[in-house]
Structure 1
Amino acid sequence: MKLTYRVEEGVRLGSLLWEFGPGWRMISSAMLGGGIGEREWVLNAQVVAGYSRMDPVDHLLSLGPAGPGVGMMTAASVDRYVRAADGGVEAAATVGLRVPTWAAAPEGFRDPELAPMRVGTVNIVAVIPVPMTDAALVNAVMTVTEAKSQALIEAGFPCTGTASDAVCVAVPVEGTPELFGGPRSEWGARVARAVHAVVRQGAEEWRPRDPK
């Protein structure tokens, strides 16, 4: 993982880049490279608060390397990223909780602080060193999300996340694929612990510097 900086709109912004190269499959909810497929890199790009560009995919493409990749955005400071490992699984997260929210809300509910186009504020990347079936990848995303919500609640935030969090899980292509990614499977349990650790730490470190 590489941390770089750029200046946009007079603001110094950071980006985290994972360069995997060929031979990796990823599942992601990101705007760029979302879904399931072979990808070579992951970018978590910091953008200005109140981001309002209407070409986020093109913007991400301009920031990432060549080839197919995954690109996500956040208004959180990416230089405060958190990393953890558990039994071969690696996880990293950028955590910003200015507008925490519960997943289920009344119909028509809209937080007045949300901009028309709000970028993700809790972005998670998990790397698993074994291949997985499509179903196991979906299960792994569920596990990541459940571990994230557990960590946020334990840290004292009454929320399941923010309204536009993003996630990416990366696994190698070659090998016999794992069938399960749930929290009580061998690899899912490791994913859950690693993600829980980074989100819990990120949430606890975020509170004192931005109490809003």
Structure 2
Amino acid sequence: MTSLPRLDANLLRPDLVRHGDGAAASPALLWRAGAGWRMISSAVLGGGLGEREWVLNAQVGHGYTRMDPDRHLAEIAREHGLSGPGVGLMTAARVAEGAHADDGGAEAVVTAGIGVCGWAADPVAVPQQVLVPGTINVIVAVPVALSDAALVNAVATATEAKVQALRDAGFDASGTPTDAVCVAAWRAGELTTFAGPRSEWGSRLARAVHAATYEAAARYRDRRLSQ
């Protein structure tokens, strides 16, 4: 297994693994977080709020047709010996091109496929031009305990930072129709009750998400422009 490139990372340590058999094997990022974490996520597997022990971000083909992605992700988790509660995300983006960033102990890993993108409140519900499908998955970890409200706040902060990074990278969009987010906070210790962009940990989280999203988006942009 190989690890995603990172700078001074000490919490969020995903490994690049494979799932499936033979020539059909696909990459995935797997963070074996272990016990002691509370996570909030919009993921199809293990979404919601609660104690979680791992996060899986699995890449699938552009022609993916299974209608049970939660079951598929559970199968991939078992393939890697995972047990206990976890979070499973899925994407058509190249997870090996994901980016890691750290800011004062808040860490983020972002994978980005931005072929189908737009603004969340766009009056046109269905994109008129379909390029290459993808998803922006944002995974964040902070080494402090966050209250339930602060975890929700952290999701909003991470999303705002993602949108800012997309604009800075030259994308006229707030994201893709299938973006997902997962925020992990350490369970023990004094509760932090704020995670907005001007709070101590919210601001660190925002900068980490912005840096990782910008780098992942720029890699996607540069690869597409070179084709």
TM-score after normalising by structure 2: 0.87
Structure 2: how far apart are the matches of 1:56 and 1:77? 18
Deviation at 1:208, TM superposition (A): 2.1
Contact 1:73 1:120 in 2 (8 A): no
Does residue 63 of structure 1 match 2:79? no
Task: Let me know the Cα RMSD of the aligned residues.
Answer: 2.0
Residue 156 (structure 1) aligned to one of 153, 167, 170: 170
Distance 1:82 1:88, change over 3 A: same
Compare 52-61 and 119-128 and name the one that shifted more. 119-128
Which amino acid counterpart does residue 153 of structure 1 have in structure 2?
Answer: R
Does residue 183 of structure 1 match 2:200? no
Paired residues in the alignment total: 209
Matched-pair identity in % = 53
Contact 2:134 2:176 in 1 (8 A): yes
Contact 2:94 2:111 in 1 (8 A): yes
Q: In structure 2, what is the equivalent of residue 110 of structure 1?
A: 126
Structure 2, unmatched stretches of 5+, are 1-13
Distance 1:128 1:120, change over 3 A: farther
Deviation at 1:11, TM superposition (A): 3.7
Q: In structure 2, what is the equivalent of residue 97 of structure 1?
A: 114
Structure 2: how far apart are the matches of 1:120 and 1:183? 27
Deviation at 1:113, TM superposition (A): 5.5
SS of equivalent residue, structure 1 residue 136: helix
| Cα offsets for 1:96-132 (capped at 9, x unmatched) | 11111100022x6212566xxx986100100000000
Matches within 5 A, 1:1-212: 1-7=14-20, 10-64=23-77, 65-106=82-123, 109-112=125-128, 121-211=135-225
Distance 1:169 1:119, change over 3 A: farther
Distance 1:144 1:81, change over 3 A: same
Structure 1: how far apart are the matches of 2:133 and 2:146? 29
| Cα offsets for 1:143-168 (capped at 9, x unmatched) | 00000000001111000010110100
Deviation at 1:10, TM superposition (A): 4.6
SS of equivalent residue, structure 2 residue 16: strand
Which amino acid counterpart does residue 31 of structure 1 have in structure 2?
Answer: V
Contact 1:4 1:16 in 2 (8 A): yes
Which amino acid counterpart does residue 83 of structure 1 have in structure 2?
Answer: H
Structure 2: how far apart are the matches of 1:142 and 1:132? 14
Deviation at 1:75, TM superposition (A): 0.3
Deviation at 1:209, TM superposition (A): 1.4
Structure 1: how far apart are the matches of 2:50 and 2:133? 23
Contact 2:43 2:87 in 1 (8 A): yes
